[in-house]
Amino acid sequence: MSACTDESTARALVVRTARSLFTRGLTHGSTGNLSVRLADGTLLLTPTGSSLGTVEEGQLSRTDVHGKHLDGPRPTKEAFLHAAFYRARPGAHAVVHLHSTHAAAVSCLDGVNPADALPPLTAYYAMRVGKLPLLPYHAPGDSSLEPLAERTARTHHAVLLANHGPVVAGASMEQAADAIEELEETAKLHLLLRGHATRPLTPEQAAALASPSS
């Protein structure tokens, strides 16, 4: 999806992706939120308190790129994170935030490298995610995280929020969803392999696979 996609197509895409993530257990209850950037620069987001398993096309919220609510239901309380990523990444047209189990578990571990929370265990992780900064804990909806999120998003299209979960931006909704799913699977591998000697990709191998992100 690009910024020129019409709004009705964008709404359908958000709901279709939300259903896919929910039904496959990548989010639960009323956790997680998705957004797309429209051709006019405004954002469509899932609303606060909604479940990705039941949200409907007509229930999406609209904000500007600074998080100001324009119309529709009240947006997710983490709308400021989405806005921060879009401001930092002009090529981003979708943002996905989940509380996926294994990524959230990694975000709770002591001793995680704040510069890169997960090792590049697989080639697809290196290609779709790359380095994953761990941002310090803030309560959900705490907008004091916004400046740090925006600064970090200028150089990283994916971050992990401490004791919370991942946020990923993409040039398309498909790209963002694929990347956050790859992140979740790598977090699962990382936890399964704890206590075992591992052989991650070397920095050179990972760099060779890295592609320009949105």
Instruction: Select which of 56, 57, 86, 124 is catalytic.
Output: 124
Instruction: Select which of 78, 146, 181, 184 is catalytic.
Output: 78
Is 124 part of the annotated catalytic residue set?
yes
Distance (Å, whole) CA 41 – CA 133:
27
- By annotation, the residues acting in catalysis are 78, 124
